[in-house]
A and B are shown apart, each in its own frame.
Chain A
Amino acid sequence: MAMNWLARLACKAPVPIYPAIGRDALDQVQDWSLDARLQWVRSPRQARILLVAGEMMPDAHPALRRIHDQLPAPAVTLWWRCTPLDELADRAIVVEDIEQLGALACEGYRSLLLNERHGESPLCADKPPAPWEGLGEHGQGGEGMMGGKPYGRPMAMTSDDLRDGLELDPLAFSVGPFWPVLAPGLSAHFVLHGDVVAELDITSMPCPVELPAPFGQALQQPVAIADLEMARARYHLRRLGHSMWINGLESASQAVLRRIPTLQPGDSIEPWRRWLRRLGFFVSAGADKGKLSSDQAERLGGPAARAAGLALDARVHDREYRKLGFEPICRRSGTCRARWQQWLDEAAQSLNLAARADSTGAKTSQTELIESPRGIVQHGRAPEDASSILCDLLPGLEWSEAIATIASLDLAAVAEPADRESS
């Protein structure tokens, strides 16, 4: 009885849920993360429900199985816009419409708590990922006492330090591809000294992103500039919200995400900027790091390039934009702070442009070359994946600065709208 009473209390708590996000699902999952019935936990260990959202390539399946098993049993998996893994197909809870997410998650959670549903069985064998490779009689060491690779992991040995001469054990581990701090699909192998990144390998690239619908249409036909600019402002502010979340402004970031869908042309976001400046967001972790060279900036394009001083913007070629008085905004430093400010500036500019275009009903005048929030897109040529620049950018940064830098860059390739129609 006592258990039942406790379980009923626990049912009223928000459902601890962890998202494993695949292709083209991030924005909607982010929107629905505001549902008060759900609590998006930072570590799969603290979740009872796994949400698998968006299309998963077969090469992501091993990682998906691992993340599934990282939830302490018993747990329930919800599937949205993706085919359940074969092992789980018979008991899969498929979310048809994302509006049902909250209700289904609550139901799954409740059934777990009241023991009406058994958890799913683990998908990976419970054994070390690699055998203990040692030469000694107890499996220790390679040569002598040192060396060897216990369970595929290098022994703790000091190595040359990057920073102050204090030699530390390198710590090697992988993160991703389902870590909400990174872009969906991005996984990387880090070697850290203390908390300083020494080496980085990108082991899988972020999933290509679909641009918001107006940008796809803009490549086919003239579209209303107001729609295009509103979509751009929302895109940039979403990224800003994510960076705020990473640097510890969790409630404020939620407030930003909540406000985004209701933005109207002509709204002012000046109070946001003032407020972020006063609280010190522009000096928070990583603000003066992650400086892009001009090559890197050119490769990335979009707001990241403009924040590093390159005035690359396809909108200047569009006469309708010129009529509206459009001029690209540029910053010089190319650091994380510059990119945060760039997002704010460009979002404010877009809201303004949208208001002006709304009153005249202006439409884009060219379809072969458009400026997407991720950079210039033209027929047959969309921005490509740029995640490899992290390998040059991150070594030498502290962990929090490295993570803030990753969050400030939009690295995923853009899926060409044509792809979408054919697939």
Chain B
Amino acid sequence: MTAALLSTIMILATLAAGVYAIAVIDRVCSAAIGTATLGPAAAGGNGVAAITVNAISPNVFLAPIHQAAAWWLAPLHTTEAPDATAWRLAPVLYLTLAAMGLALVPWSETFVPVDLATGIVLWGALEPLATVLIFLHGWSANAHFALLGSYRYVAIGLSYILVSMFVLIGVALPAESLQISAVVASQQELWNVLRQPLGLPLFLIVGLGISFWGPLDFADSSDLAGGTSAESSGRSLLVWQFARMAMLVSFSGIAAAAFLGGPMGPLLPGPVWLILKMLFILVLLMALGRLLPRLSPERFMTLAWVVLLPLAFIDLVWAGLEALS
């Protein structure tokens, strides 16, 4: 009982802290991109430029909290004839999936909130369920942009989920188990990121896909005025955005466990190592999200089937040969 309670608190606290970290990292990435690539922002001179630089510089550490408060207090909007239950529920269920995913991540050799013998399979099941919920969120709003966003997401869903399956089978092979703690233990000598060099880069794309982030934001993009969340406002939007970032946190946990040896590492305690590795994955994802433009869904789908999927096969064959030797 106590263990279950401790696990639950641990998962919820990690999700909340992780979402906060993402919000901060994303703001830092956004600001860094401007200055790093196009030279320093104009200081002084023209009035407009001056105000951007001199305006009460928003504190990146407090900004996420201010934003959350603003969403919390904003009025809730409804459309003409939404499927109200599904519309309100979809963000909550998506958040639940994120929490379920994070529960699979081992924090140390002894502390694994849910150490399923089929952990990899459960994560594999969460990905298509996420697709269902993203579709539900867009469809239930009963509005054209939201519907289009969800159409598009469903259309590309399968192409990245397949990549994820093969890459994860690849990490299960050397462990000879579908249990995530066993996958971590199998990396005692060499982390999977080195043993299967194609694995992590391919899996990062899955992370962008499952949280429709950056270049894979086909569901909630600007060209659809916000896509599935175009009609959402206030708390509903807050939960949706929170859930989306929570899914990234959960993904980073799984990626750290599958490729970076999870809690393994010298000197520092296991959980600290895990958090550092998760942060590393999140920084990578945020930077990719800000740096890469969005392809058209058709082009991405071609890329996924013609390039990424064969690469995932190669990764699997590589993992198989390596496991045999």
Contact = CB atoms under 8 A, between A and B. Distances in A.
Interface residues of A, number: 68
Given A10-B72, A45-B77, A251-B290, A245 B222 contact: yes
A173 B144 contact: yes
Interface in A259-273: 259, 261-262, 271-272
A102 interface: yes
Nearest to A190: B144
Interface string B131-161: 0000000000000110110011001000000
A45 B291 contact: no
Interface size class of B (residues with CB under 8 A): 35 or more
Contacts of A31: 48
Given A13-B67, A255-B34, A255-B41, A34 B293 contact: no
A401 B223 CA distance: 10
Contacts of A10: 66, 69-70, 72-73
Contacts of B30: 250-251
B33 interface: yes
A9 B34 contact: no
B315 interface: no
Contacts of B291: 252, 279
B217 interface: yes
A12 interface: yes
Contacts of B294: 247-248, 284-285, 400
A148 interface: no
B226 A43 contact: yes
Interface in A8-59: 9-10, 12-14, 16, 31-32, 34-37, 41-43, 45-46, 48
Interface in B269-287: none
Interface in A150-182: 171, 173, 179, 181
B13 interface: no
Nearest to B46: A261
Given A35-B55, A194-B151, A285-B294, A16 B70 contact: yes
Contact of A255 (B33, B46, B70, B222): B33
Contacts of B297: 195, 398, 400
B73 A171 contact: no
B216 to A, nearest CB: 10
A105 interface: no
A5 to B, nearest CB: 9
* Interface residues of chain B: helix, strand, loop or mixed (majority): helix
B211 interface: no
Contact of A171 (B74, B80, B144): B144
A141 B301 CA distance: 38
A258 B75 contact: no
A251 B33 contact: yes
B42 A72 contact: no
Contacts of A42: 222, 225-226, 230
Interface in B182-240: 214-215, 217, 221-226, 229-234, 237
B76 interface: yes
Nearest to A263: B42
Contact of B56 (A36, A43, A45, A171): A36
Contacts of A246: 222-223
B8 interface: no
Nearest to B218: A400
A41 B70 CA distance: 13
A37 B77 CA distance: 24
B222 A181 contact: yes
A12 B69 CA distance: 9
B175 to A, nearest CB: 35
B197 to A, nearest CB: 22
Nearest to B300: A285
B48 A34 contact: yes
Nearest to A151: B80
A248 B229 CA distance: 16
Nearest to A12: B66
A35 B51 contact: yes
B41 A43 contact: no
Interface stretch (B57-65, B90-98, B115-123, B252-260): B57-65
A171 B148 CA distance: 9
A155 B58 CA distance: 48
A216 interface: no
28 contacts: A10-B72, A13-B69, A14-B67, A34-B51, A35-B51, A43-B145, A43-B229, A45-B77, A45-B230, A45-B233, A99-B51, A102-B55, A113-B73, A171-B147, A173-B144, A181-B222, A244-B293, A248-B294, A259-B41, A261-B48, A261-B49, A271-B39, A272-B38, A280-B292, A283-B295, A284-B294, A399-B223, A400-B223
Given A246-B223, A399-B148, 12 more contacts: A3-B73, A10-B66, A10-B72, A46-B233, A72-B75, A99-B47, A195-B152, A252-B33, A262-B42, A280-B295, A399-B224, A400-B297
Interface of A: 3, 6-7, 9-10, 12-14, 16, 31-32, 34-37, 41-43, 45-46, 48, 72-74, 99, 102, 113, 128, 171, 173, 179, 181, 192, 194-195, 244-252, 254-256, 258-259, 261-262, 271-272, 275, 279-281, 283-286, 289, 398-401, 403-404
Q: Which 5 interchain pairs have the tightest Cβ spacing?
A: A255-B34, A248-B294, A284-B293, A13-B70, A262-B42
Interface of B: 29-31, 33-35, 37-39, 41-42, 45-49, 51-52, 55-58, 62-63, 65-67, 69-70, 72-77, 80, 144-145, 147-148, 151-152, 155, 214-215, 217, 221-226, 229-234, 237, 290-299
